[in-house]
A and B are shown apart, each in its own frame.
Chain A
């Protein structure tokens, strides 16, 4: 799984339920699997986005080691905790990850580090990005339909 974001914060949420409340506060249509023990999360975390099955890998990473790897110059302070999100080729997972990460960062007064752009996003910027993702949905649909058409052309 090759796409990644990290949320850095000085405190952690205690449970999936607490995280879900933060997501609900943002009014995102994302539901995390309630039966996962958040403190031990290390791997796939199932979720549903607008009723559709999705999910992402979620890890409690070493904050210092991760910041060093990402470049300490990208940060204005040292953070205690790093929550890693990893996923692959699925378009809806991207939205789910950013919703979950934004809500988590906001609830813990943290920040989001996006590996794609290699920079920090505040929760406010995360919300703006999610709005862009939602506005991009028709173009993604067209992209997928076009690919489907290309692959299904009769011999």
Chain B
């Protein structure tokens, strides 16, 4: 009897020891998992910081190029309410200082020096629907493709720029969703002005149409317009940071004000699902698509 009890106790002790060893082994596994996660998080943070540094470096390089070309982002504008409202006022430098015709300076030098703007991973290849071109995934809808290389290449460059900007703005302290949307728009406008893409002069960013000045009755502003070599608008770009896109009626109204027909695409670049939802900036896919009839 005593032997049986001893055997049973011994068995239970062995069982407990085995279970203890298993628990220890599982704990070690969990510890290893946590260590891996920590390393991954640290790597992610370093990647983010590197991306921000690369973007900052690119901005500095663009600023240098722009200065050479005479673009001064701090140059004042004539306030709204007058005939010249919104146009560059005095105080600019170099080429952009002076006459109205000079205000649309094409910064061709910039594109030569930086054929692949804003550290794009991709060169000026043909856009492939569904392909991803920047850190934040970009989804090109087939409707955004025109088959015209100048437009398609610009679409790709602007989408890459916007995706990178969003990556950088994501690291800013959290704003309200509305402020965050403004920050993305503001940074995008400033960067595109400085980029000097072929066909997009600084004055083609937030351009006034439908009136002599922004403030005239019925005047509207587009985010970015692309022009051909003779100065005609060949594409209109609109950035959307919110939940909703451009209404077709709005697209038609924009075309009317810009004075173009349905052959000119209105290309919407939007972060669907709301990049700013719930006050937490998330890396969302950038959707690029044409709006309205083309």
Kindly list chain B residues whose C-beta atoms are within 8 Å of the C-beta of A143: 172, 183
Docked-complex contact A118 and B243, CB < 8 angstroms: yes
A/B pair count, beta carbons within 8 Å: 144
**Looking across the interface, which residue of chain A has its beta carbon closest to that of B79?**
A53
Contact B223 A1 (CB under 8 A): yes
User: Is B244 an interface position by the 8 A CB rule?
Assistant: yes
Query: Which of B56, B81, B206 is A88 in contact with, Cβ under 8 Å?
Result: B206
B179 within 8 A of A: yes
- Name the residue on A nearest B73 (C-beta): A151
The verdict on A139 contacting B173 (CB below 8 Å), with A2-B185, A117-B276, A151-B73 known, is yes
- Minimum distance in angstroms from A66 CB to a CB of chain B: 7
B100 interface residue per 8 A CB criterion: no
Contact indicator A2/B239 (Cβ below 8 Å): yes
Question: Judging by beta carbons under 8 Å apart, are A133 and B222 in contact?
Answer: no
Partner of B214 from the list A2, A44, A89, A132 (CB cut-off 8 Å) is A44
Known contacts A117-B277, A153-B63, A44 near B219 by CB under 8 Å:
yes
Name the distance in Å between A65's Cβ and chain B's nearest Cβ: 7
Task: State whether B194 touches A116 (Cβ < 8 A).
Answer: no
CB contact under 8 A between A89 and B241, given known A1-B223, A55-B215, A117-B276:
no
In chain B, positions 273-287 with a C-beta closer than 8 Å to chain A are 274, 276-277
Docked complex Cα distance between A114 and B242 (Å): 8
A89 touching B176 by the CB < 8 A rule? no
- For A46, give its contact among B67, B183, B215, B221 (CB under 8 Å): B215
In the complex the two chains form, what is the Cα distance from A150 to B62 in whole Å? 10
CA distance A94 to B180 in the complex (A): 11
A43 to B217 Cα, complex, angstroms: 6
Chain A, range 107-121, C-beta contacts under 8 Å to B: 114-118
**Least distance between A131 CB and chain B CB atoms (Å):** 10
B211/A44 in contact, CB under 8 A: yes
Cβ-defined contact, A43 with B220, below 8 A: yes
Top-9 shortest CB links A-B: A118-B243, A43-B218, A116-B242, A115-B242, A89-B185, A89-B186, A89-B189, A53-B79, A115-B244
Interface positions of B (Cβ within 8 A of A): 56, 59-60, 63-64, 67, 73-74, 79-81, 172-173, 175-183, 185-190, 194, 206, 210-211, 214-223, 238-244, 246-247, 249, 274, 276-277
